[in-house]
Amino acid sequence: MSDRSRKDECCIVITGAGGGLGGALASAYAAPQTHLVLWGRNAARLEETGEICRERGASVRTLSQDIRALSAVRERLAELDAECRIDLAFLNAGVSSGALPDGDPEPVEDACRTMEVNALGNINMAAFLAQLMRGRGGHIVCISSLAALYPLPDSPAYCASKSALAVYARALRAAYAGTSVRISIVYPGYVDSPMSRRLLGPQPLRISAGAAASLIRSRLEAGADDITFPFLPALGVRCLNLLPAPAASFFSRRFGFKVRPDDESPARG
């Protein structure tokens, strides 16, 4: 680990930085005069990402902490901000759950954990960061999902949690309108990652994590604050909301899937 050594460095916090989109975002932003705080729960994977970023000239600090520890997370953010003022934060930490490969519905324990991480954990960070940045400026990027835009029966908690984060971020943006706090929301489709590889079913137009990170950075730098991709899946999801419920349900089930449980799921055993 290394602490920020120069006051003129840009400080970027990325949660879920151990792999997938978070790791790709870290690589995309790694450069000289950039200090990256890579936040996640798998220390070994964070260090792997950190080494790649150091090779690109960034200074790096890794931080292994569960974002469900709400008060501890706020304390840690305050400490980080005192050490190196946070300029940009990607709230990307997330888990997924859904209908099991054997046909059983999503376990209730998985549904609650998904809501705790994807919704409550990220909302806690967004709210606190906005307070820290008020009056001095900063940028918060909430990573939601196309799944936030329509309730998929095979992954109820994931859809609900990503929708909750997106709605909260939109409201927070309005609450901080006229200040120097910028709040962006990203709605990705299928991105190649360890999480997406647990999904058993069609993944239309799935893109690499690197391509997704590059697209997100370019659109943010162009001034976009609502970023949705890929175009065709996004269009399809939006069209579902315009259809009568029976028709929307019929078409959504054509893309049904199952989700292999992760290591924390009680269904794993």
Q: How far apart, in whole angstroms, are the C-alpha atoms of residue 117 and residue 43?
A: 18
| Close Cβ partners of 19 (under 8 Å, ≥ 6 residues apart) | 42, 45, 49, 193, 194
Q: Is 243 helix (H, G, I), strand (E, B) or coil?
A: coil
What's at 118, amino acid-wise? N
Q: Which two tokens stand for residue 163?
A: 């929708």
Q: How far apart, in whole angstroms, are the C-alpha atoms of residue 208 and residue 21?
A: 9
Task: Give the sign of the dihedral formed by CA 248, CA 251, CA 254, CA 257.
Answer: negative
What value, to the nearest 5°, has the Cα angle with vertex 137 and ends 75 and 227?
Answer: 95
Beta bridge partners of 228: 187
State in Å, rounded, how far the first CA of the chain is from the last one: 35
Indicate if 29 belongs to the active site. no
Distances in Å between the Cα of 58 and the Cα atoms of 173, 220, 259 are: 30, 20, 36
The active-site residue, picked from 29, 150, 158, 168, is 158
Task: Confirm if 31 and 109 have CB atoms less than 8 A apart.
Answer: no
Task: Give the sign of the dihedral formed by CA 154, CA 157, CA 162, CA 168.
Answer: positive
| Helix (H), strand (E), coil (C) string for 207-226 | ECHHHHHHHHHHHHHCCCCE
Catalytic residues: 158
